[in-house]
Amino acid sequence: MRGAVRRPGQSHEPDDNYGRRMPDVIRIGQLSDTHFLEAGMEPEGAGAYDTSAAFEAVLAHLGDHEHLDLMVVTGDVADHGRAAQYEVAADAFARLSVPVNLCPGNHDFDEPFAGGFPHSNLDVERTLVLGDWTFLFADSNSGQMRVDEEGNRSDLPGETRLHSNGSLGTHEAAWIREASAAATTEHVFVWIHHPPGVTVPLIADADYTSEWTALIGDLPNVRGFGGGHTHLPAEFVFADLPVFVSPSFKNNFDLDAKTWLPPGYRTYEFSADGGITSEVHLVDDERWPRHPLGRAILGLFNGELTYDDLAAIAQRRRDQTS
């Protein structure tokens, strides 16, 4: 992997393609829920954005981004986990001028995801060390997969987890615990698709929260989390740690203002003293107006409607206008 990325145990001496030393402040960009589709395919769900157009808008908004040390992608890279969708994603991410590291979401199926990023600046490393920070890339889908005695994971048949919330399972929880304990730096940050501690009814999961509640006491060097999944760009606190949620490319919502939001991304600064600052960047554009949210969308997030209910409502509306 090119760029200013170091594996655990390596020194701060220059070893990247640019001959740079790691700065005191590590700067990282985050994309999430890109939901790339094959050319000509329609996005799933009412009101979904053209995610390739959203990527072009985000790339233009990023502008000259070579000051970043890394770009992280926190899952739902593809809309339905198909190999052709990862080809579109890989070609898009290869246009970024910094190293890119990815972890999977519930829309990403293990085999096509693992083999979907052949370009030299793209990787799916589980642990990266940059300066004074160790970054763990966890898989919050692991508890819904088959895991053999050696810890190898494979997906169950079908697409049953496309709309699922997080589940670490015993193997992934053990890996997070062991990787944190093995960190050679003072500070650890966890990148994960499903953020812990979400309270919105649609995406809150008591079992997943319990997994993290049981685990967090064994992670004294973890300073925070960066995730996606919710399509609700936010920052909140779980177990006294900051949780940062990135915007999506597919659609975004503001439940406080009760409006749609345009696509976007996050940027971070990680300081040598363990401090973290982060900022949401939304790409306001006439293609993605901040319209008021309808009752059906609000009902979905409030747990009053299911995805199937919402799809049926959208179909009835299409039938009425056709």
Q: What is the mean pLDDT of residues 30-56?
A: 89
Query: For position 20, what pLDDT does the model report?
Result: 45
pLDDT band at 269 (very low <50, low <70, confident <90, very high): very high
More confident residue, 222 or 10: 222
For residues 195 and 225, is the Cβ–Cβ distance under 8 A? yes
Residue 111: its H or E element: helix 110-114
pLDDT at 7 over 60: no
pLDDT in tens, 191-218: 999 999 999 999 999 999 999 999 999 9
Say if strands 146-147 and 153-154 run parallel, antiparallel, or are unpaired: antiparallel
- Contacts of residue 242, defined as CB under 8 A and 6 or more positions apart, other chains included, come to 223, 224, 225, 235, 236, 276, 278
**Per-residue pLDDT averaged across 30-36, rounded?**
97
pLDDT at 19: 38
Phi, psi at 200, each rounded to 5°: -65, 125
pLDDT recorded at residue 232: 97
d(CA 179, CA 191) in angstroms, rounded, equals 13
Q: Give every CB contact of residue 293 below 8 A, 6+ residues apart in sequence.
A: 253, 255, 258, 259, 260
Whole-angstrom distance, CA of residue 40 vs CA of residue 59: 21
Helix (H, G, I), strand (E, B) or coil at 93: helix
CA–centroid distance for 205 within its chain: 18
Q: Which domains does the chain have, with CATH numbers?
A: 26-291 (3.60.21.10), 295-322 (no CATH)
Residues 48, 35: Cα–Cα separation, whole Å: 10
3-state SS class at 259: strand
* pLDDT surpassing 50 at residue 1: no
Q: What percent of the chain has pLDDT over 90?
A: 74
Residues 6+ apart with CB under 8 A from 94: 119, 121, 122
Closest CA to 249 of 106, 68, 79, 86: 79
| 254-266 tens-digit pLDDT | 999 999 999 999 9
- Asked which of 91-105, 142-156, 210-224, 286-300 is least confident by mean pLDDT, the reply is 142-156
pTM of the model: 0.90
pLDDT at 158: 67
Q: What is the DSSP string of 211-225?
A: HHHHHHTT-TTEEEE
Q: Is the pLDDT of residue 320 over 90?
A: no
* Mean pLDDT for all residues in the chain: 89
The residue with greater pLDDT, 143 or 90, is 90
**Cβ contact 192:215 at 8 Å:** no
